[in-house]
Amino acid sequence: MNIDHVATLRQARGTTYPSPLEAARCCAAAGAHGLTVHLREDRRHIQDADVYALKQAAILPVNLEMANAAAIVRIALDVRPEEVCLVPERRQEVTTEGGLDVAGQEQALKPTVDSLREAGVQVSLFIEADRRQLEAAARLGVPYVELHTGAYCDAGSDRAKRELERLVQGAKIAHDLGLKVNAGHGINLQNIAGVLDMPHLDTLNIGHSLVARAVFVGLEQAVREMMKAMSAYRGGAG
């Protein structure tokens, strides 16, 4: 469960609520397996204190999404979340757009990946389902990749089949390279059935649609609905 947008609501008014920590407890009560938070350089939603509090509370394992930026890397090495997912980040974007260019930034990413691994942190790279990017991830020695599902989730019916085929193939390539496969971006109750056709999935990171659904049914119910939908997963198209 990505709880960034709980913090978005809080930051909109500069209040102390709603609390990401309280959201974490709701997610745990509903059966979520972990928490994802993105500590952006512009601090538009999650704040440094949130990351420390979530790790200290140990309600659920924490996956920290972050850019390969020195100041954020220092925080990650201090907090030592269970997992870090390195993502691309631009100040102007509304949300993360596209995957990280691992192939083009391999040398720049290597010191960060190595330092996180030495600190006992599992590292994932948020990338497109592209062989070149996947092979670069494997060379860096990360255990996980997170495949960007946004193009599929946002596609119209004409393009959706092609995008899903690309994700399925990417998951197979990742598995063959010895990488564990996570996926995320844009997943909701309407499109998750297609996402579950992907083979070898370990984790789905889902946030915005759940926070939006929680406005009407509450966070625990929203998470339970998604967990029920995910229970249909049988490994996808092998």
For residue 74, give the CATH number of its domain: 3.20.20.70
Q: Does residue 123 fall inside a structural domain?
A: yes
Distance CA 214, CA 78 (A): 32
208 is catalytic: no
Q: Using the structure block, give the residue that is written with the tokens 């979520």.
A: 32
Report the domain count for the chain.
1
pLDDT at 236: 61
From the candidates 5, 38, 45, 148, give the one annotated as an active-site residue.
38
Q: Catalytic residue, from 5, 45, 148, 185: name it.
A: 185
For residue 104, the Cα-to-chain-centroid distance in whole angstroms is: 21
Q: Which of 5, 45, 65, 83 is catalytic?
A: 65
238 residues of the chain, pLDDT tens digit each: 999 999 999 999 999 999 999 999 999 999 999 999 999 999 999 999 999 999 999 999 999 999 999 999 999 999 999 999 999 987 555 555 689 999 999 999 999 999 999 999 999 999 999 999 999 999 999 999 999 999 999 998 789 999 999 999 999 999 999 999 999 999 999 999 999 999 999 999 999 999 999 999 999 999 999 999 999 998 865 4
Two structure tokens written together for 55? 């790790």
Q: Confirm whether 200 is a catalytic residue.
A: no
Examine the residue annotation and report whether 82 is marked as an active-site residue of this protein.
no
Assess if residue 26 is contained within a domain: yes
For residue 158, the model assigns a pLDDT of 82
Q: What is the pTM of this model?
A: 0.95
pLDDT at 93: 55
In a domain, 147, yes or no: yes
238 belongs to a structural domain? no
Containing structural domain, residue 120: 4-229
What's the half-sphere exposure (Cβ side, CA atoms, 13 Å) at 121?
27
What is the rounded distance in angstroms from the CA atom of residue 152 to the CA atom of residue 107? 30
Distance CA 43, CA 72 (A): 11
Q: CB-based contacts of 180: which residues, under 8 Å, 6+ apart?
A: 143, 144, 145, 174, 200, 202
H/E stretch holding 144: strand 144-148
Query: Within a domain: residue 237?
Result: no
Is 27 within 8 Å of 225 (Cβ atoms)? no
